[in-house]
Amino acid sequence: MQGLDLVNTAILVGASLVLVGIFSSLVATRFGAPLLLVFLIVGMLAGEDGPGGIRFDDYRVTYLVGSVALSVILFDGGLRTRLSTFRGVLVPSLLLATFGVLVTAAVAGLAAWTVLDLAPIEALLLGAIVASTDAAAVFFLLRTGGLRLQSRVGSTLEIESGTNDPIAVFLVIVVTELVLAGGDAPALDVAMRLGQQGLLGAAAGLAGGFAAVWVLNRISMPGGLHPLFVVAGAVLVAATTNLAGGSGLLAVYVAGLVMANRPVRAYPSIVGFHDAVTWLCQIVMFLMLGMLVTPTTLWDYAVPGVLVALALTFVARPLAVWLCLSPFGFTRTEKLFVSWVGLRGAVSIFLAAIPTLAGVPNAAVFFNIAFFVVLFSMLVQGASLTSVARRLKVALRQSIPNTSRVEIDIPGQVEQEIVGYPVAAESVVLGLSRLPSWARVIMVVRKNQILDRQTAGHLQPGDYSYFLVPRERLPRLDSLFRESADVARRLGLAFGELPIRGETQIGEVAQFYELDFGDADRSLAIADWAKARLGGQPELDATIPVPGAKLVVRRLESGRIASLGLQLDALFNLEPDEQLLDRLVAEVDEPSRLRSWLARLGWRRRNA
C-alpha cells in the first residue's frame, strides 16, 4: 500500500505543478513576463532547494519525456506550415538551420573554452547543446505581443526554428561520441552519418505523413480517435526513424508538413487537440528543467554561464545570421531581428541530458551552463521581443489580433470545412463590397436570429457568420476577419467603389486610373459627361459602362450629379490575399501610393 500511496502522491504533485504553472502564467502575461519562464520558476520552487523540496535528478526520464515532447512539438510545427510559406525563403532558412547551427555551436564553444576549464571538444559539445532555437517560445511571444511580422522575416524564422533541431541533435550526439572516444573520428564518416540522418528522416517523414493521411481519409473511426491516432503516429514515426539511423525529429516535422498540405478528414479537431498537447509538452519540459536545477550549486556557474549567454546572443547568433542571410538580400534590420529571435528553450533541456546519460565527464557543467543560457534568453530576449520588433520596424505598423474562428467537421468530407467568424466593428471584411466567390455563406446569426444568405445581405458588426470554404483557402479567409479599421478603409478604396466628385475632369480620371473615355473632351467635368451619356435626367444608381470599369451615380444635388462611384473590373475580379493585405497595412494612404498599388494589382491580374 505504501507503493500505491507513493504513486498517487507523484500524480498529485505533477497535476498540481501544472495547474500552478497555468494560473501563474495568467497573472504573468498581464505584466508582459515570458510565459515559459513562469513554468521554469515554478519547477525551481518545487525542487529540492525550494519550498516544494522535491528531489528530482533522473536524466533518463528527462530524456524519455523530452524525446516524446519534442516529437509532438515539431510535428505540430509542421502541421501549421503551408508550403506557400517556403516561397522565396526556403534556401536561406535551411542554410541558417544547418550551417548557421554549426557556426553558432563553434563560436559558443569557443566562448565556453575561454571561460571554463574544458577541453576544446568538450567546449564544442556545450556550444552544440545551446545552438538551436525554440520555435514554440518564439511564436508564442510574437502572438502575445500582437505582432505580425513582415512575410519574409516571419517565414524565415518559422522554417529555421522548425528544421534546426535535427541538426543540433545530430551534432550533440556526434560530439558526445567524440568526447568519449578521445576526439578521434574521420570527417568523412561524420558527413556520411549526417547525410544518412537527413535522407532517412526526410523519406520516413514523407512516408509517414502520406500513410497517416491515407488512413484518416479511408478508414472510419470515432471522431475522438482522430487526434489520438495522429499523436501516436507522430511519436511512432520519430521512434522508428531513430532506430533506422535517421533523424526522427526531421521525420515528424516533414510528416506534419505533408498533413498540413493535403486534404485530411477531421483536420479541425486534430489541430485543436495538438494545441493542448503541445502546450502540455512545453509545460512539462520547463517544469522538469526547473526541478533538475539545484539553485545552491548554480552560483559556481553564474559568471561563466552569463558570459557564454552573452557570447551566444551578441556574437555567435548574429555572426551565423549575417553569414547565412547576407547573400539573399536581407536588410540590416531584418538580420538584426532574426539574430535577436534566437531564443533557447525546451530543446536545450533535452540536449543537456544526453551527455549525462552517456557518462561524459563534466556533464553537470553542461547542464548548469545550459540553464543559464535558457534563463538569460527568456529574461532578456523573450521580454524584449515585441519592443525590438517595433523598433527595428520588421513588424507591420499595426498590431492585428489573431482571428477568432470555430471549425466544424463535415462527415466524409476532406476538401471543405464549415467555419464561423465573429464580425467585429473593425473587421477587414467590412471593407469589401463583396465576399470571395469561394466563401459560401451558410447562415448569419444577427441579434439572436438565424438568417440565410439572401436575408442577411451584407455582413454587419456584431454578426456571427458561417461559411463553407475549401480548406486551402482558410488562411486567406482568416485574413479578412482580422480587426483593423485602417486596413478596412483602404481595402474599401481598392476593392469597393472609388468615390469621384462630379466636377473632376475626365482627363484626370483617365490618367489616374488608366481608363479610355474615347474622344471625349478631357477638360469636361465627369458629371456633365455622365449626364450626356445617360441621355436625360440622371437617377441614383444609374450605371454608365466604361471599357474596364463602370461608373455609378451615387449622389445628386438639385438634379445635378454631385458624385459617382468607380468600379474597376480588374479589382472586382481579383480576390485580396495575405500579401496584398500586408502591403495595405505597411503603406501610407496617399494617392500616389494607391495608384501604384492599383497598377501592381492590374499587372498581377493580367499575368494570372
Enumerate residues 6+ apart whose C-beta is below 8 A from 43. Answer: 17, 286, 287, 288, 289, 290, 291, 293
pLDDT of residue 399: 45
Dihedral, CA of residue 472, residue 474, residue 475 and residue 476, to nearest 10? 100
Is 322's pLDDT higher than 90? Answer: yes
Structure confidence by residue, pLDDT tens digits, 252-296: 988 988 888 887 877 777 877 877 787 788 778 877 877 877 777
List the one residue out of 422, 495, 497 whose CA is nearest residue 462. Answer: 422
Enumerate residues 6+ apart whose C-beta is below 8 A from 513. Answer: 498, 549, 566, 568, 598
Pairwise CA distance, residues 234 & 257, whole Å: 12
pLDDT of residue 270: 82
Q: What is the pTM of this model?
A: 0.68
Is 319's pLDDT higher than 90? Answer: yes
Q: Where are the domains of the chain?
A: 2-392, 406-483, 489-607
Phi, psi of 597 (to 5 degrees): -65, -45
- pLDDT interval class at 414 (50, 70, 90): low
- pLDDT interval class at 5 (50, 70, 90): low
Domain spanning 2-392: CATH 3.90.1150.10: no
Mean residue pLDDT of the chain comes to: 76
Pairwise CA distance, residues 69 & 137, whole Å: 14
- pLDDT interval class at 400 (50, 70, 90): very low
Is 590's pLDDT higher than 50? Answer: no
Pairwise CA distance, residues 464 & 459, whole Å: 9
- pLDDT interval class at 148 (50, 70, 90): low
Q: Tell me if domain 406-483 and domain 489-607 are identical in fold.
A: no
pLDDT of residue 486: 52
Pairwise CA distance, residues 419 & 407, whole Å: 5
Name the DSSP letter for residue 557.
Answer: E
Give the pairing type, strands 416-422 and 464-470. Answer: antiparallel
Structure confidence by residue, pLDDT tens digits, 10-28: 677 667 766 765 665 555 4
Pairwise CA distance, residues 563 & 354, whole Å: 73
List the one residue out of 367, 349, 287 whose CA is nearest residue 67. Answer: 349
Is 475's pLDDT higher than 60? Answer: yes
CATH superfamily for 406-483 is: Regulator of K+ conductance, C-terminal domain (3.30.70.1450)
489-607 maps to which CATH number? 3.30.465.10
SS3 567: strand
Percent of the chain with pLDDT over 70: 75
Pairwise CA distance, residues 73 & 52, whole Å: 28
Please compute the mean of the pLDDT values over residues 416-431 and round it to a whole number.
77
141 with 342: CB under 8 angstroms? no
pLDDT of residue 317: 92
Residue 356 parent element (H or E): helix 346-358
